[in-house]
Amino acid sequence: MFMDQACEFVSSNQDDIFLDADSTKADLYGKQEGAARIHHYSQIEYHPFVINEYNSKALVGA
């Protein structure tokens, strides 16, 4: 549902839509479910993949 709303907002408010897909680092404190060791950072943390619309900075999906 959230992704549908974000896409509807972007398509109705932007003429040129540019999607920016990237990963980001999210630090953890304690033992949290779903965490994994990320060898690039040599730490245990979340490494989610996010998609933003570049001009509006709206989060389209994660």
Residue type, 44: I
d(CA 43, CA 60): 27
pTM: predicted TM-score of the whole model, two decimal places: 0.56
How many residues are given for the chain?
62
pLDDT of 1-60, one tens digit each?
667 777 777 778 777 778 888 877 777 777 777 777 777 777 777 777 888 888 877 788
